[in-house]
Structure 1
């Protein structure tokens, strides 16, 4: 992953980050700190701050478009691991903060 991705943070303040509860450390094989999540259904949780009209993940550190990153990067959920830098959703998130799409040289 390029430094430009971990210096952006737009995706962390655009989308709800929901995933199966067993990815939290409430399960023996989980890693995401459960205290950073909130339930959204019987089997799914979301990162705190992302299940609202103006999302911002509780784990996001820094300002959008400036040096920003995930405070639990090594423990992040599958939803975050599967997010594709430079794809249409990335461009959508960046555009919402007035940032241009990433050039293909970055990914």
Structure 2
């Protein structure tokens, strides 16, 4: 596991991809969380974060320099596109991810000449489970042993 969230020192995805989403997410009167003034229309049904729909994208909400300390100015109000991006970091350095999103993350990191992130599997202590068979306890074990003996000592069976 990572010691800290590498996204806080990156920001490559915010300065590489177009961040587009359904228009209602920025309709504040309808309960959309994304500040409308930070978006632009892409089509009648799709909006994008300002700055991301251009040849050299950079989200208007990105604060800081890529590969240095960065943060999202509207993190609590970010679009579903950002919230659903499949690399999620926890406060203790753990994470869970969608492999295709990790590939996209690394594509953005590569464009900024940053090393790729790799899928990390935390080391855990694996212990073989204790198998509990109902016949292995109490009277069931004795009944199983009697059945086994009677089966092997049956003269009719040996003919």
Q: Scaled by the length of structure 1, what TM-score is found?
A: 0.90
2:102 maps to 1:87: yes
CA distance in structure 1 between the aligned counterparts of 2:16 and 2:36, rounded to whole angstroms: 21
Residue pair 1:4, 1:106 contacting (<8 A) in 2 also: no
- Bigger Rg over Cα: 2
Report the more deviating stretch, 16-25 or 32-41. Answer: 16-25
2:119 maps to 1:104: yes
Secondary structure at the counterpart of residue 87 of structure 1: helix
- How many equivalent pairs are there? 106
Higher relative contact order (CA 8 A, sep 6+): 1
Consecutive unaligned residues in structure 1, runs of 5 or more: none
CA distance in structure 1 between the aligned counterparts of 2:23 and 2:121, rounded to whole angstroms: 33
Higher normalized helix content (fraction of residues)? 2
CA distance in structure 2 between the aligned counterparts of 1:34 and 1:47, rounded to whole angstroms: 9
Residue pair 1:22, 1:30 contacting (<8 A) in 2 also: yes
Q: Scaled by the length of structure 2, what TM-score is found?
A: 0.62
Structure 1 residue 9: Cα displacement: 0.3
2:154 maps to what in 1? none
- Provide Cα deviations, 1:20-70, integer angstroms capped at 9, x if missing partner: 111114342210000000000001100000000000000000000100111
Q: Cα RMSD over matched residues? A: 1.9
1:3 maps to what in 2? 5
Secondary structure at the counterpart of residue 47 of structure 2: strand
2:32 maps to what in 1? 30
2:34 maps to 1:19: no
Structure 1 residue 103: Cα displacement: 3.5
